[in-house]
Structure 1
């Protein structure tokens, strides 16, 4: 079968050269996308979802990573001066995950340190959960888009060979090559979306891990403040 296809291609090329009918036809990316058929619709939707999640999460995580370098120093001063209300008010006026964690810890002052640490940890888990919102969906897009693209290619190849079987002895190279390149369009589109989503996912995960590290560091710093003797 393969030898027959190669022979047909060689004969077609030879005939085209002899008759001077060789023409170079350009195809835009837009036209190529439409060649993929209905399978391109879910792939396009997945690409929009991936871009939206990445952009939205990028700015949310970047905001969460911003920190006032004087925040912990002011908290320390208020606690050592026994100005618990002032420290609590400062946390409420600061819209960051760190501030919300410290706020919970301040509200537990007077209780055992283990209870304070557990309360802060619970708030920290909630803050991390909020930051990771949408990341599982992005991971699903990274793995699902190539599979959908491959499905479109398999379906396209089935249709191409079905058309060939119905053509009987009238099969030509153009019919086969058109079916094959049309079918491969969905695989390329799915891979592009999947690769972009994969890199986007890992970028966001790295940023979340950085925020988590900062949250843990500030929690430790706050617990140290509570353990420090008042001068």
Structure 2
């Protein structure tokens, strides 16, 4: 009797296992398929994401290169200026090749002119360097606003389509509504993610530029003091 009962029990267990595996296989979708369910607005959002990644990497490498300088650069320049070794100063700055070194080099080339003019020339070069660093960063600020908006528009149009289909088919089942709605919410979520990435990178890059500006202002002050007081008095 026990053996007789074991057969149906095992059969039911196997059937349940096979049904669960089949259901899992049917519900599992790739990440790409999941993203594409967000609708046509996912195409510009994905393009904005790729462009954001490109700008982020390109600007990070450029800004890191330009703002990286020898910590002893200004000390060496001041020491050389105090001893009147202008050729050595120029050689030191040429070897450094950074945004700050170009600002200091402009000041060195302007020695002999009024102090106000030297300072103005150095600040002008610093402004040009900052403008070069900020190139394309405004695009990230724009993407931070556009990407979430595209996502919301995609979701709204998707919801409109869902209710339009319901009005035609008169099928207001929960499964019909939720199935279509979750797909349309993908575009909103994706747009927000892209916007957050662009917003974060935009402010991080601007923070690095602000640090460069602070260092440059200090370097200009040290340079002006060095040529005004060549003996360090």
Q: Distance in 2 between matches of 1:191 and 1:122?
A: 38
Residue 111 of structure 2 is aligned with which of 96, 109, 112?
A: 109
Q: Distance in 1 between matches of 2:203 and 2:76?
A: 35
Q: Structure 1 unaligned runs (5+)?
A: 1-19
Larger Rg: 2
CA contact (8 A) 2:154 2:188 kept: yes
What is the match of residue 11 of structure 2? none
Offset from partner CA, 1:58-78 (integer Å, 9 cap, x none): 122222232212322332233
Shift of 1:159: 0.9
Shift of 1:95: 1.1
- TM-score by length of structure 1 reads 0.84
What is the match of residue 62 of structure 1? 64
CA contact (8 A) 1:64 1:211 kept: no
What is the match of residue 15 of structure 1? none
- Structure 1 stretches of 4+ moved >6 Å: none
Q: Distance in 2 between matches of 1:229 and 1:85?
A: 16
Whether 2:171 is the aligned partner of 1:176: answer no
Report the RMSD for the aligned CA atoms in angstroms.
2.0
Count of residues in correspondence between the two structures:
210
Whether 2:174 is the aligned partner of 1:196: answer no
Offset from partner CA, 1:119-166 (integer Å, 9 cap, x none): 000000001111111211111111111000000001101111111111
* Deviates further, 90-99 or 78-87: 78-87
CA contact (8 A) 1:47 1:193 kept: yes
Q: Structure 2 unaligned runs (5+)?
A: 1-18
Whether 2:209 is the aligned partner of 1:217: answer no
